[in-house]
């Protein structure tokens, strides 16, 4: 009679995961610090996998945290709270909650399964993802809402309804906030109405647990491959419209992604300039490392959005990517990474501008910015970062 794997068996299956990722990330050999950094990232995705792959249940669904400052994989947009719930198209689901004051809240139907590689993901892109908005629902004066999700509209239901793709496997929710310290995140609960559910069977728990090695490798390796794709197809120290993610990743029908590689020395900087669209629901820019992990946005100003950034009188955004603080408001701190991803996105814009990226000496930054660009004092920078750190923690991540 077959027996289910014990704890030690499951741990044995996880051996070699970090070594595999290190061989992909640093084939020439990692430093001690890089080994520990990859171990930390792999451990975080293991934790994410428990919540999103082991705990989750289509018969008792719950929105679980997917990407955030602790599960920092996939270049998380610091303005987004990402949550995921596993569902089954044969079911009838109810979403209820309160709208909050987020800039927008969207829920995207996704195909089932885990990330494996760019090629594997391209096959998934054949799935016709549909994105729904809370603002399309009937929202009461107190912010409450209710919507039913199913392949066919339930008989007798005349309220809000979202049709499910017959091949759906997951729901991905994004809550966007730009004023982190003051916006109220939406509250959303999910219930399955046609099935009371039951406790997950031991064999299913074991099966999902056994997938954790592949979950970790797939999630992290996917993004390392994507970074190398941008390095090859977009170039160094540029920021251009995405040639891959726009095909089916993210909010491709509403949101334009710009991607490129930043690669500068510690005494250099990149000046990133673009005219801000006259009509744009939301835009932002971020820096990430060469695994597509966004630079620590809680303790560093590694991203800016349309609320946080300073726009010059001519209507242009001008930011400075560097390791050393150039003293300007729109500093994008790349930390100690020698190279990585530079990404921007424009959501529902009336125009998508070309972006100018110029490499300069960090000591010469002001010579390439408009005359009169204000500088921050040490105290003002500290206050800016304190406000940011507080706001990041006020978001409802978990």
* Cα–Cα dist 78/308, whole Å: 12
Does residue 393 carry a pLDDT above 70?
yes
* Torsion over CA: 95, 98, 99, 102 (sign): negative
CA 11 to chain centre: 28
pLDDT value for 114:
74
The backbone torsions φ and ψ at residue 161, rounded to the nearest 5 degrees and listed phi first, read -145, 135
Percent of the chain predicted with pLDDT > 70: 94
Does residue 124 carry a pLDDT above 80?
no
Per-residue pLDDT averaged across 114-142, rounded?
A: 78
Does residue 11 carry a pLDDT above 80?
yes
pLDDT category of residue 117 using cuts at 50, 70 and 90: low
* Cα–Cα dist 326/239, whole Å: 21
pLDDT value for 251:
55
pLDDT value for 343:
97
pLDDT digits (tens, 9 = 90+) for 248-283: 544 556 889 999 999 999 999 999 999 999 999 999
pLDDT category of residue 129 using cuts at 50, 70 and 90: confident
* Cα–Cα dist 289/381, whole Å: 23
pLDDT value for 154:
97
pLDDT category of residue 245 using cuts at 50, 70 and 90: low
The backbone torsions φ and ψ at residue 158, rounded to the nearest 5 degrees and listed phi first, read -115, 10
DSSP H helices in the chain: 7-14, 17-25, 32-49, 118-124, 202-210, 212-233, 378-394
pLDDT digits (tens, 9 = 90+) for 64-103: 999 999 999 999 999 999 999 999 999 999 999 999 999 9
pLDDT digits (tens, 9 = 90+) for 210-243: 999 999 999 999 999 999 999 999 999 999 998 7
Q: What is the mean pLDDT of the chain?
A: 94
pLDDT value for 123:
52
Interhelix angle 212-233/202-210, nearest 10 degrees: 30
pLDDT value for 59:
95
CATH number listed for the domain at residues 224-394:
2.60.120.1600
| Contact by Cβ (8 Å): 303, 288 | no
pLDDT value for 255:
87
Q: Where are the domains of the chain?
A: 224-394
Does residue 285 carry a pLDDT above 90?
yes
Question: Rg (Cα) of the chain, in Å, rounded?
Answer: 22
pLDDT value for 398:
86
pLDDT value for 252:
55
pLDDT category of residue 113 using cuts at 50, 70 and 90: confident
pLDDT value for 180:
98
pLDDT value for 364:
97
- What is the helix (H) or strand (E) element at residue 356, kind and residue range? strand 356-361
Does residue 126 carry a pLDDT above 70?
no
* Cα–Cα dist 118/125, whole Å: 10
pTM, to two decimals: 0.95
pLDDT value for 85:
97
pLDDT value for 247:
59
């Amino acid at each position: 009679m077959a027996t289910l794997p014990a704890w030690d068996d499951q741990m044995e299956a996880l051996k070699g995961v970090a070594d595999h990722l290190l061989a992909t990330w640093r084939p020439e050999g990692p430093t001690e610090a890089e080994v520990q950094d990859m171990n930390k990232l792999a451990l975080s995705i293991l934790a994410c996998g428990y919540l999103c792959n082991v705990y989750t249940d289509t018969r008792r669904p719950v929105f679980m945290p997917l990407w955030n400052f602790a599960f920092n994989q996939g270049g998380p947009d610091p303005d987004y709270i990402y949550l995921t719930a596993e569902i089954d198209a044969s079911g009838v689901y109810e979403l209820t909650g309160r709208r909050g004051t987020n800039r927008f809240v969207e829920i995207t139907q996704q195909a089932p399964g885990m990330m494996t590689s760019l090629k594997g993901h391209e096959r998934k892109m054949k799935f016709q993802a549909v994105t729904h908005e809370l603002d399309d629902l009937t929202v009461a004066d107190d912010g409450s809402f209710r919507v039913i999700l199913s392949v066919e509209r339930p008989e007798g239901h005349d309220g809000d309804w979202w049709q499910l793709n017959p091949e759906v496997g997951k729901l991905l929710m994004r809550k966007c906030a730009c004023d982190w310290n003051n916006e109220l995140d939406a509250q959303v609960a999910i219930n399955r109405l046609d099935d009371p559910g039951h406790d997950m069977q031991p064999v299913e728990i074991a099966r999902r647990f056994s997938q954790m090695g592949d979950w970790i490798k797939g999630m992290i390796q996917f993004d390392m491959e994507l970074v190398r794709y941008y390095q090859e197809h977009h170039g160094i120290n540029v920021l251009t419209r995405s040639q891959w993610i726009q095909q089916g990743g993210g909010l491709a029908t509403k949101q334009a992604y710009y991607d490129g590689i930043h690669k500068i020395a510690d005494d250099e900087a990149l000046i990133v300039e673009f005219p801000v669209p006259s009509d744009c629901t939301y835009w932002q820019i971020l820096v990430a490392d060469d695994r597509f992990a966004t630079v620590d946005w809680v303790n560093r100003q590694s991203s800016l959005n349309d609320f946080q950034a300073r726009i010059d009188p001519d209507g242009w955004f001008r930011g400075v990517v560097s390791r050393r603080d150039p003293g300007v408001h729109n500093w994008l701190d790349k930390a100690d990474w020698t190279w990585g991803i530079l990404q921007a996105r424009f959501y529902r814009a009336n125009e998508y501008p070309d972006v100018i990226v110029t490499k300069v000496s960090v000591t010469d930054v002001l010579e390439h910015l408009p005359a009169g660009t204000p500088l921050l004092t040490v105290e003002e920078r500290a206050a800016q970062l304190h406000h940011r750190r507080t706001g990041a923690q006020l978001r409802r991540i978990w």
